[in-house]
Amino acid sequence: MADDWLITKVAVAQLCATPDVSENLATIEQLVKHACGEGAAVVLVPEAFAFLGPEKVKRTILEHLPVEPHAAGGPILERCRALARSQRCDLVLGGFHEDADDAHKCYNTCVHIGPDGAIRAKYRKIHLFDVSLSDGTQLRESACTLAGDTLVTTQMPFGTLGLSVCYDLRFPYLFQGLVDQGAIALTVPSAFTATTGPAHWHVMLRARAIECQSYVLAPAQHGHNWGKRYSYGHSLIIDPWGEIIAECDDGDGVAIAEIDPARVRQVREELPSLCHRRSLE
């Protein structure tokens, strides 16, 4: 680990996004400003932060992500860039509805915007949420979303952050791969369902932290988003020993904690399980 990494205050935001883009972005602005006012240098917001609603409506708000870091984008991206610049923070957009030049599908993309407004990293969600639950919930993300195929990390003041989105949480090898690329913290921005959340959310997030010996930063949607869609909430920050060090209550809000690279180093030295991995192929 680099010696110049810094203890950094980070925040995970929690909101209930709806089909109202303007209202969602106004809420995000309030939450980010509050977090930065409390000293956060890095703020992470949930999957689908700008819109959760009917697919036909989502098609109307899709935006391309520019190739060049400072090139102009659409109104949602530019509003988020202005927010990062005004608050001088690293802002991670947990799930951006990225236009894919496809008549029926888009990408679900996690985007890191730096304090200067530049796009620092883009990760397209690899694992798509196709499920039929016993309570009647049926979701087919693959019907409207294209899967990514590349692991992505990005640099933060505290060191390397590994990017993921929601359903990726259920695939430990993805996070092991991010650790192999140097990650000491992992983000899991989500819109976890109210059905799966009570049984799986805390358990799996703590497991990823323990097995990867990394911080886990999990901003989440909460509440009734639209129609029959309800999200679980409980945005979390977990340390590399698996302890929950910050958690959102019900409703909109932020959870804030410090990321200490020395804590990661300590855990990995005292219990060197990452060094004990073996290939069984």
Q: Which residues are catalytic?
A: 47, 125, 166
Are 235 and 220 contacting, i.e. CB atoms less than 8 angstroms apart? yes
The 3-class SS string of the chain reads: CCCCCCCEEEEEEEECCCCCHHHHHHHHHHHHHHHHHCCCCEEEECCCCCCCCCHHHHHHHCECCCCCCCCCCCHHHHHHHHHHHHHCCEEEEEEEEEECCCCCCEEEEEEEECCCCCEEEEEECCCCCEEECCCCCEEEHHHCEECCCCCCEEEECCEEEECCCHHHHHCHHHHHHHHHCCCCEEECCECCECCCHHHHHHHHHHHHHHHHCCEEEECEEEEEEECCEEEECCCEEECCCCCEEEECCCCCEEEEEEECHHHHHHHHHHCCHHHHCCCCC
